[in-house]
Structure 1
């Protein structure tokens, strides 16, 4: 403020001396100095001086500033906020003058403002904004959007928040694909009023008054028209921005998150759909909105949890089978804690209303999606027939023409005469794919849920269900303690005896089976060509080791590994673990934890942040890039929680309200199935997230400090999952076309090519080539699969797929064309 008063005095002296040009220089210098330009009150005295000057003096001042402006604030000069600071003062000083020498600079600066996410460093912005319509020009939609985003921020200066509230047109912020389409569609007052109302959706749930107003607006616009428009808009949510913003430091994410003003409108649109009559497209759109809004953005986390939560609330308010099914599907997929809690509440409310358990409601919610048999349906379209058939966890759509012969594409008559029905069928096939994936994950988690089904209910909901049956018939079950699998149209024992009745059914697990029985079931699956949706007969079993008997209460089996923190965090959530990201701050965090309510236990995996010697290995938001692993322990589920400093150190138990410490359980007191499944999860975390299986880290990562670990992991002893992989490869290799070029020896698959002989590690997939065991870096493409390997007994082992793909490539190494690989050969 003192700087501003000093400037006022200097300006007054220059004007008194008849030197407006020198006064202009003083003004420009004053704006460059200190923080006074951020003090609206301090500049008030300068403004009072400028306003009190004669029009001639003010005009001379503005002309001089305009002359200096291009050189000082041109394209290679100051940023937009610096330009707007001088323009804001000049806009006030120029009030009432006939000429506006800074009009072009003001218009350009405001247009550039539209490329920022928000601005707080532009005092008197309202004066600049007001000068545009006064001169017969309007603000660009992008500029309006930037000002609105600024005003909505909780830390925005009061004057900018007030300015944002005065800008009501356009009704949405431009720059997002869906919003741009909505603005193009909403050409009439009814749809514009609906969008304006949706922007007021700022609560967690729609208040009664909000619903009442929304219903009246829907009636005015027409329910069918509203549904068609909203579904079209929501289908575009998550697409790249049509007007990319210019990120500033700590704003790298701005083009990947929702515009905060439009996010409120999205919440409103979700609520709005739940007021319309039930429609399959509504549930589908809301489910997609939830998943899109929970997609992770680096440095931010989920893109917009509030929009995701609104989508779940809308589904819970929507009647009909489709909405119920979407809730169940999302419950099996969503890992974000707040949204998962809302989903759980919604399903429990349905369960209470039906007098069923939460698990039963989730099972009953799975629809048939038009399938008339297990994994099969036919649909007639005039003289053509469409066949939907489920293969694995994907649904395929094939066609036959009028003569009953297969055709490669959709018949022209179907596209012409049955466009809407064809669109619905294709959407249903996509729904089947999404639900199959969700149900496969849900079934994989049932081992620790201790679920037991009455035989009749199990047959209805699982074995004979048109959709879930495609998974259940590829799994092994115990009926009254007898193991059975589905083959040749019936449930059968190992000896082929049909199982047609029973009392109780549970999922079969190899931990309770004799090893010979497990091998026999593996042979049975192979003999019947059954590919399981996840590892069951080939599932890794983790039995207590002598080392663990010696430690007694903890396992060090997976200690001393280095994991990519964010990959571990995401994978832990998928497997039902709770975890807190370790930040480079003076704070504590609990271990990664999985509650096992069916067993009254809690499993803990102790980890700590690793930021290097100077804690430099962090993201922009301050979270560690990597973790180091430690013990696995088990406690009673209600035991006080342990915690440790995020950067490392000893774990200690938080004792509140006078509680006594609780000792960890001896490992030999943990049920074998629980121990095996928990350690299998931890093995999965290490196997996927370890820096040791990254083929690009042969130099040891930052400063080479992980070189020793990378080498020991990438080519070291095999863990349990890798040993299981080796056993499977022993059976698979002889069937491959390249069998004559492959052999298994120890920890490696040896592949003989024309150029070299190669060794592929069975744990990491890393490669060494002859003659001197030189490292060969081949980075697998995303989604790389084991094409050409024939039958596999289970789905989901990406490392196995990578190993087989590399073996096929290297066995024919003279056909390799990738220049990166060729340069290493």
Structure 2
């Protein structure tokens, strides 16, 4: 066996699992001389490399041959084998390893914790034989797999074999159902009482905070390249039990916050796999649903606005519906009432005295900041030493509040942005209490436009005001709705934009500047579908994530023989369903390396091709098409149902049509490969070069046209105004080296007059909002355009070598090489756009 392995670099198929079992069953008097010969053969290999070179099979064989034989000469092989197995995610296909551990268990030998963890993961993956499963039933300790920060800390807290905490950890491994049973809960309470409720509570909260931290024992993952980013499959069950346990313990100010973070951490997506552990996320929601008080309800409300994973989102929704029914309120009302203040005493601010200093908590945009005012009245960012010494717990809570505020502000912003299609109307009294004057939500609501019984108003100088700044005091029962430009005359919309500018109001999302998508002649001709956003190439995973945020239901297209529905947004308030038809994009099947650059390791398409937008009644049968688009969409009819025709676009309410098309325009504008500066070569085989050029420098879509209208007002105020000019689809920037044309749709740059492409890749996808006044937040491309303009207007100050190399005259080959380098090298671009 050793000779075969050394000569071929691998084991031989004749050495299967049964062969290893028979090897171990040989009499000891036969095994000992053979083990000595194998050990001698392996000893001839170079020091410290022998076991690595021969691999698992010979090391396993030697360990089995020497099993039960008292001889230190065989210890090196066994130690290496155990260490190697313990570092693996799973070890299926390593013949003989199961035989070894079965033999160890039968002999009563301890199994190292890391090896036991690998055994458990292998068994859960379905790769272990029945003998391994039988052995695992006898191996109960430690109850948690080592290698994760939270599990290591939980095991380290055990004080001895009789510690009730150990019994409680064993009980957590029985949390195998979706919700805790009465019997499970009774046992958990009894064990927690025995271990000390306060101790258990503090441990539970501390352990839940460590979930998702980097593994303490990194795994040699082999083909499972994402294993180190996943939760340990065995530990997911006791982790679910730990979440349930937290809801049974004495109240703690951090319990709800920690459970909310657990839900989001568990749903964090791993490339090629999906959410880390939906079952742990659901356990966090179940635990929150069992905790009384505002803090738990606030976390549920925040999760309702943030969670996009469908199963967990439905669970959160059902919990909030149950709370609403118990309180006799509507679902939306419960969400609004659940939003906490996080210590804010007025809209957007709070002052908290701590000793002789004062903590100043303020909200600006969708970010909270914490600063300090010293006894001398000086405002500083750092915590004063005396406060840090005398009030550590209060400082920690304030810092946690800042983090919570950021999360809730983003959640409430997204929730308000979705209200346009919710047809929501508030009574003025409750609206004022829950939105306008709410210390947190008020920071968003006061920057939006509303209609009071049909009259448009904005908030400025402490009051609701009309376009001419007349104060408005509505009656308590007046109806309040969100203002939308689709319902208004364009002249009124332009006037409100000037009003916002005059009062220096920066809206949390586009409202007065919101794009309105009117029916085109082409759409009237097609009748039942829109081709306005067809024939685009989108990055699939970016589209998928963005669709979930905007409330669309979508499934990743895999390179498999399967059919899926289109991306769908359900609009129950209107009785409608919007569909965006998409399919996977791959090379033609005739190519020798067909699809090699188009599919991820997990089999999903990297890119999508887009097609029609259609509307159907909400209850119409769904359409299905093959993932790769080779078969068209067809309605799936079940149980004798009749086909349902798409609705004529002229019958779709203008606001619904506009909002749905705006979503689709957003998908294309963000996810299109045409706005990726690294795609100037057209991607795989250059087949998208024409599309990249036409999109990256082509006609402006509605979003880019809005951006252009804003820049017409903004450019004259820039510090570089004398170097900037708007010219059709471009912002022209005159530098000292060249004149540059920045496309207002994609942000791509051309050198003028040669129209040579200049590749500048922002270092961060989250380019900061430029300094100075902007009428709305959230336009990343606008920030990129302004930042590039500031960089190129001062092109003699550029020091980045990859950018400078593109600014020099050169031949085509050298220029192409410099652009490839630039595409692979993100660059810092200045943020001081005013």
Given the two structures, how large is their TM-score scaled by the length of structure 2? 0.91
Please say which of residues 631-640 and 410-419 is displaced more in the overlay: 410-419
2-structure distance, mates of 1:528, 1:98: 87
1:102 match: secondary structure: helix
1-structure distance, mates of 2:170, 2:799: 56
2-structure distance, mates of 1:417, 1:262: 39
2:678 match: secondary structure: coil
Question: Measured at CA, do residues 104 and 540 of structure 1 come closer, stay the same or move farther in structure 2, by a change above 3 Å?
Answer: same
Identify which of 507, 512, 517 aligns with 2:482.
507
2-structure distance, mates of 1:456, 1:727: 37
Q: Which residue of 1 aligns with 2:259?
A: 286
Question: Measured at CA, do residues 581 and 680 of structure 1 come closer, stay the same or move farther in structure 2, by a change above 3 Å?
Answer: same
Question: Measured at CA, do residues 182 and 71 of structure 1 come closer, stay the same or move farther in structure 2, by a change above 3 Å?
Answer: farther
2-structure distance, mates of 1:784, 1:100: 59
TM-superposition CA deviations, 1:143-176 (whole Å, max 9, x none): 2221221122234322222233333333322222
- Shift in Å, 1:473: 0.3
Mapping for residues 315-464 of structure 1, pairs under 5 Å: 315-464=288-437
Please say which of residues 202-211 and 300-309 is displaced more in the overlay: 202-211
2-structure distance, mates of 1:391, 1:779: 28
Q: Which residue of 1 aligns with 2:777?
A: 795
Q: Which residue of 2 aligns with 1:573?
A: 548
Question: Measured at CA, do residues 71 and 782 of structure 1 come closer, stay the same or move farther in structure 2, by a change above 3 Å?
Answer: farther
1-structure distance, mates of 2:481, 2:311: 31
Q: Which residue of 2 aligns with 1:20?
A: none
Q: Does 1:474 find its partner at 2:447?
A: yes
The total of aligned residue pairs comes to 796
TM-superposition CA deviations, 1:609-634 (whole Å, max 9, x none): 11212233111111111110000000
Mapping for residues 425-824 of structure 1, pairs under 5 Å: 425-502=398-475, 503-613=478-588, 614-616=594-596, 617-648=598-629, 649-785=631-767, 789-824=771-806
2-structure distance, mates of 1:134, 1:656: 55
- Shift in Å, 1:686: 0.3
Question: Measured at CA, do residues 750 and 820 of structure 1 come closer, stay the same or move farther in structure 2, by a change above 3 Å?
Answer: same
- Shift in Å, 1:741: 0.6
Identify which of 101, 105, 113 aligns with 2:85.
113
Q: Which residue of 1 aligns with 2:826?
A: none
Please say which of residues 755-764 and 214-223 is displaced more in the overlay: 214-223
- Shift in Å, 1:46: 5.2
Aligned residues of 1:194 and 1:214 also touching (Cα < 8 A): yes
Identify which of 133, 147, 161 aligns with 1:161.
133
1-structure distance, mates of 2:68, 2:714: 86
Please say which of residues 566-575 and 615-624 is displaced more in the overlay: 615-624
Please say which of residues 762-771 and 154-163 is displaced more in the overlay: 154-163
2-structure distance, mates of 1:728, 1:77: 69
Question: Measured at CA, do residues 750 and 272 of structure 1 come closer, stay the same or move farther in structure 2, by a change above 3 Å?
Answer: same
Q: Which residue of 2 aligns with 1:101?
A: 73
Q: Does 1:221 find its partner at 2:195?
A: yes
TM-superposition CA deviations, 1:562-618 (whole Å, max 9, x none): 001111111111100011111111111111000000000000000111121223311
2-structure distance, mates of 1:710, 1:179: 49
2-structure distance, mates of 1:532, 1:707: 37
- Shift in Å, 1:781: 2.0
- Shift in Å, 1:137: 8.4
- RMSD over aligned Cα atoms: 2.4
Q: Which residue of 2 aligns with 1:62?
A: 35
1:377 match: secondary structure: strand
- Shift in Å, 1:134: 11
Q: Does 1:187 find its partner at 2:159?
A: yes
Identify which of 13, 16, 28 aligns with 1:38.
16
1:608 match: secondary structure: strand
Question: Measured at CA, do residues 713 and 134 of structure 1 come closer, stay the same or move farther in structure 2, by a change above 3 Å?
Answer: same
2-structure distance, mates of 1:199, 1:71: 47
1:635 match: secondary structure: strand
Q: Does 1:244 find its partner at 2:244?
A: no
